[in-house]
Amino acid sequence: MTPEELLGVTPALLAKSILHRRERLAEVIPEQLDARQEELQAAEPLARAAKEKRDGVNAKVANLKKERSDAQTKARALFKRAGELRDKLQASGGIKDPDPKWAKEKLDSKLQRLEQELETNAGNHKTEQKYIQEMKGLIRQHDEWVAQRASSQEGLTEMDASFKEAKALLDQAQKAHDAIIELASENEYFHTTYVEHEAHRRRADGRTKRLAEALDSSQRGIEHWQKIIDGGFDRLLANATTVKEGGTSSSVRNRKPAKAPQKKGKARRTSTAKPQPEGEEE
């Protein structure tokens, strides 16, 4: 459109063109808005479900980490306590080997004697079973003797119990750690899934809001321009009429006059000295 053609456009034609544009948008936007709302409604439950699964795995991992940390802390305290008891017993000379060399040699000698009798004496399976039971009995008696000898030493029982409990706690910590490792890949999968669904949900939500705002703006624009067309353009053309009649434009009327710069003059000094009176003759 040339400048002459643009200047030839009447206010009524321009207002009707704007109104038509707003009406066209008001017709097209609802269909797009419905599609975006359906997309948003489908994306929201997917994002919510993915988040719940991810948070569930995170909660399991957090509980396992706490279990692992607590078990390790307790185990360290027990190892420290057992070490203190051992050092104390060693310093006082109170630790005795509950299974000395001579006891082991005595057990080995009895077991060898039974093995020789089993090999040299012919017998049936009942006789063999008898020798095997005697061997098991000797080993059981030896273990009971070692346990009784260890438990009779003051402080040794508490030290052994501390070591055993500490080892059990470390096993518990290791199991918790292994479970955390197994959940790592599952946690990564659910987190990635949640991020993808959440990004889709946000895009759909943003598009829905923008279309809703555009529809509201178009509807308000229709009301505005229809009111102007029905009421006439006198108010809008007031400034143009003023200029046409020889008046100043709005830009000139709104322009603030520049303030004249003030000259800074030097202040004149006035003498404040009083005249001296003439002296009287004697």
Q: Which residues touch 221 (CB under 8 Å, ≥6 apart)?
A: 18, 19, 22
282 residues of the chain, pLDDT tens digit each:
677 766 677 777 888 888 889 889 888 888 888 888 898 888 899 899 989 988 999 999 899 889 988 988 888 888 888 778 777 766 766 566 655 676 677 777 877 777 777 666 655 555 656 666 777 777 777 666 666 666 666 666 777 778 788 888 888 888 888 888 888 888 888 888 889 989 988 999 999 999 999 889 989 998 988 888 887 776 767 777 777 777 776 666 666 665 655 655 554 554 444 444 444 333
What is the model's pLDDT at position 279? 40
Sorted by where each starts, the structural domains of the chain and their CATH numbers stand as: 9-96+153-240 (1.10.287)
Token digits of residue 270 = 């006035």
What is the model's pLDDT at position 171? 87
What is the model's pLDDT at position 63? 92
Nearest partner of 10 among 275, 255, 229, 270, judged by Cα: 229
DSSP per-residue letters across 152-220: TSTTHHHHHHHHHHHHHHHHHHHHHHHHHHHHHHHHHHHHHHHHHHHHHHHHHHHHHHHHHHHHHHHHH
Task: List phi, psi (to 5°) of 99.
Answer: -130, 75
What is the model's pLDDT at position 94? 57
DSSP code of residue 2: -
What is the model's pLDDT at position 181? 86
